[in-house]
């Protein structure tokens, strides 16, 4: 991770075919081209994720927004999300007029099922687990809750493409799964995203909604119907072309990440005080990050600093990270926005300040994650493993 580290001839070939056609838009101009890259990538994505349908959009954030709307989530509905995620998760919920309900995470670094159960109210419409840093939430209990309370399960798998749970690809377990193909994801389009589903109605909604409500019936784009309002979340053919090449390399990327992950894990296991993120039974991560715990917050902070001092780049201490943890989301908690929000959203978001997230804090304050890079050599990985052990041992004494 990320896929841009290994751009090559395959990506250039696909992009050049688009440039040669002169058609950079995914819809229309049929007579001027012989290939449709977005259509091809949707087919490849659906096949790889073992779902009936896939819809490409302009970003992972767009995928989340389109998924919510397509599943009927809207004004005043509550959507349960984790305290540890990327800001796009709550941005998407707010964008459709719904209310983000923050809930504690556990040592999977994802939603704690017991905390989710306690957060369900008569206004809850969806649960949105986020598979952070290449691994997954404990999904089975969430599936049970969704069935019991007739809720929609929307998987945010933007950081975990290629992982699986009980032999099913992440993203395919819920009603809708969402992916990001931005520049720093395991596979990239430069900018882009996608959603997958087995629900025909959700797919149709996503297809229309992401293109101004076009129904895409017939050969004359200007004469197409518009059964409902939509917006512009389209991906371009240039971006889709990059993705066509990258998705066909996904399994090779995953194999490299796993190989390097295991080298680092074996080294860190020599430190008794280091423990590892919980992987739910039946789960297989995509190995894009290695996440581990130190015994205390003080030691975790010191270890993160020490890693940098020992030349270990791309390590993250999420507890005080600006973009990924609730402790730095003042702009959400205070609703600092150019938009005007409804009274119900303001009341719900402001009241969230009263919630106790100490269970999440106890986990994230001890967590360090390190990126696994595709461009490393095996010798560099072994050197990195040695440096990581030395850096942590300096702190632990």
- CA-CA-CA-CA torsion for 47, 53, 58, 60, nearest 10 degrees? -80
Of 215, 249, 283, which residue is a domain's last?
A: 249
**What's residue 310's pLDDT?**
98
Q: Do 301 and 379 reside in the same domain of the chain?
A: yes
Q: Return the bridge partners of 61, or none.
A: none
Q: Do 173 and 300 reside in the same domain of the chain?
A: no
Distance CA 180, CA 126 (A): 20
Q: Do 240 and 277 reside in the same domain of the chain?
A: no
**What's residue 1's pLDDT?**
80
Q: Do 118 and 206 reside in the same domain of the chain?
A: yes
Candidate list 37, 185, 301, 373, residue with the active-site label: 185
Print the SS3 string covering 38-102. Answer: HHHHHHHHHHHHCCCEEEEECCHHHHHHHHHHHCCCCCCCEEEEECECCCHHHHHHHHCCCEEEE
Of 233, 249, 265, which residue is a domain's last?
A: 249
Q: Do 270 and 372 reside in the same domain of the chain?
A: yes
pLDDT at 91 over 80: yes
Q: What is the mean pLDDT of the chain?
A: 97
Q: Do 122 and 16 reside in the same domain of the chain?
A: yes
Kindly report whether the global pTM for this prediction surpasses the value 0.85: yes
Annotation says 185 is catalytic: yes
Residue 29 belongs to domain with CATH number? 3.40.640.10
**Overall number of domains in the chain:** 2
Q: Do 214 and 276 reside in the same domain of the chain?
A: no
Q: Do 208 and 289 reside in the same domain of the chain?
A: no
Distance CA 70, CA 205 (A): 5
**pLDDT of 295-353, one tens digit each?**
999 999 999 999 999 999 999 999 999 999 999 999 999 999 998 999 989 988 988 77
| Number of neighbours of residue 265 by Cβ within 10 angstroms | 15
Domain residue limits at 174: 3-249
Mean pLDDT of 171-180: 98
Beta strand residue intervals within the chain, DSSP E: 53-57, 78-82, 99-103, 124-127, 152-156, 164-165, 168-169, 176-180, 193-197, 275-276, 283-284, 289-293, 315-316, 367-371
């Amino acid at each position: 991770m990320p896929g841009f580290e290994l751009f090559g001839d395959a990506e250039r070939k696909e992009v050049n075919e688009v440039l040669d056609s002169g058609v950079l838009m995914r819809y229309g101009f049929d007579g001027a081209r012989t290939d449709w890259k977005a259509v091809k990538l949707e087919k490849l994505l659906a096949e790889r994720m073992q779902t009936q349908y896939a819809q490409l959009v302009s970003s992972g954030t767009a995928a989340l927004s389109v998924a919510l709307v397509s599943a009927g989530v809207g004004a005043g509905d509550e959507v349960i999300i984790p305290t540890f995620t990327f800001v796009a998760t709550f941005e998407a919920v707010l964008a459709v007029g719904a209310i983000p309900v923050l809930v504690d995470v556990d040592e999977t670094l994802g939603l704690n099922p017991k905390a989710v159960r306690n957060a369900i109210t008569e206004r809850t419409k969806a649960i949105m687990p986020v598979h952070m840093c290449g691994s997954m939430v404990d999904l089975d209990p969430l599936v049970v809750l969704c069935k019991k309370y007739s809720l929609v399960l929307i998987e945010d798998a933007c950081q975990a493409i290629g992982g699986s749970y009980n032999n099913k690809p992440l993203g395919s377990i819920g009603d809708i799964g969402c992916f990001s193909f931005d520049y720093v994801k395991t596979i990239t389009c430069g900018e882009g995203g996608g959603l997958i589903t087995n629900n025909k109605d959700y797919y149709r909604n996503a297809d229309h909604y992401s293109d101004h409500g076009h129904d895409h019936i017939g050969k004359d784009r200007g004469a197409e119907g518009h059964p409902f309002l939509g917006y512009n979340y389209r991906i371009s053919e240039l971006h889709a072309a990059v993705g066509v090449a990258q998705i066909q390399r996904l399994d090779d990327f995953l194999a490299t990440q796993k190989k390097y992950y295991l080298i680092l894990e074996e080294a860190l296991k020599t430190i008794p005080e280091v423990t590892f993120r919980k992987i739910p039974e039946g789960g297989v991560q995509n190995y894009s990050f290695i996440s581990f715990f130190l015994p205390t917050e003080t030691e975790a902070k010191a270890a993160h600093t020490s890693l940098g001092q020992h030349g270990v780049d791309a390590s993250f201490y999420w507890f005080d990270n600006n973009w990924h943890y609730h402790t730095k989301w003042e702009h959400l908690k205070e609703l600092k926005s150019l938009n005007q929000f409804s009274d119900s959203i303001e009341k719900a978001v402001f009241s969230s300040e009263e919630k106790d997230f100490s269970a999440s804090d106890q986990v994230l304050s001890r967590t360090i994650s390190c990126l696994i890079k595709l461009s490393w050599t095996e010798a560099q990985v072994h050197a990195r493993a040695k440096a990581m052990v030395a850096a942590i041992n300096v702190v632990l004494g």
